[in-house]
Amino acid sequence: MGNLRAGLIGLGMMGRHHARVLGSLEGVDLVAVADAGGDPHHSAGGRPLLSSIEELIAVGLDYCMVAVPTIYHEPVATALAQAGVHAMVEKPLAQDTTSAQRLADLFDSKGLIGAVGHIERYNPALQSARSRLESGDLGKVYQVVTRRQGPFPSRIADVGVVKDLATHDIDLTAWVTGQDYVSVSAQTAIKSGREHEDLVAAIGRLSDGTVTSHLVNWLSPLKERVTIITGEKGTFTADTLTADLTFHANGERTSAWFNLAQFRGVSEGDVIRYAIAKPEPLRTEHEQFRDAVLGKETDIVTMRQGLNTVRVAEAIIDSARTGRVSVLEPV
Tens place of pLDDT per residue across the chain (331 aa)? 689 999 999 999 999 999 999 999 999 999 999 999 999 999 999 999 999 999 999 999 999 999 999 999 999 999 999 999 999 999 999 999 999 999 999 999 999 999 999 999 999 999 999 999 999 999 999 999 999 999 987 665 678 999 999 999 999 999 999 999 999 999 999 988 888 899 999 999 999 999 999 999 999 999 999 999 999 999 999 999 999 999 999 987 655 555 555 555 677 788 999 999 999 999 999 999 999 999 999 999 999 999 999 999 999 999 999 999 999 988 7
Please tell me the predicted confidence (pLDDT) of residue 42: 94
The CATH 3.40.50.720 portion of the chain extends over: 4-118+283-296
Please tell me the predicted confidence (pLDDT) of residue 269: 83
The CATH 3.30.360.10 portion of the chain extends over: 121-282+310-327
Residue 155, judged by CB atoms within 10 A of its CB (0-12, 13-18, 19+), counts as: exposed
Please tell me the predicted confidence (pLDDT) of residue 215: 98
Please tell me the predicted confidence (pLDDT) of residue 258: 59
Helix 281-293 × helix 13-22 angle, to 10°? 60
Please tell me the predicted confidence (pLDDT) of residue 35: 97
Please tell me the predicted confidence (pLDDT) of residue 259: 57
SS3 87: strand
Please tell me the predicted confidence (pLDDT) of residue 254: 58
Q: Give the rounded distance of the alpha carbon of 113 from its chain centre.
A: 18
**53 contacts: CB under 8 Å, gap ≥ 6:** 9, 34, 75, 76, 79, 80
Q: Give the rounded distance of the alpha carbon of 21 from its chain centre.
A: 18
Please tell me the predicted confidence (pLDDT) of residue 278: 97
Amino acid 142 reads: Y
Report the CATH number of the 121-282+310-327 domain: 3.30.360.10
The CATH classification of domain 4-118+283-296, taken from the options 3.40.50.12780, 3.20.20.10, 3.30.420.10, 3.40.50.720:
3.40.50.720
Residue 1 DSSP symbol: -
Closest CA to 214 of 267, 161, 259, 291: 161
SS3 196: coil
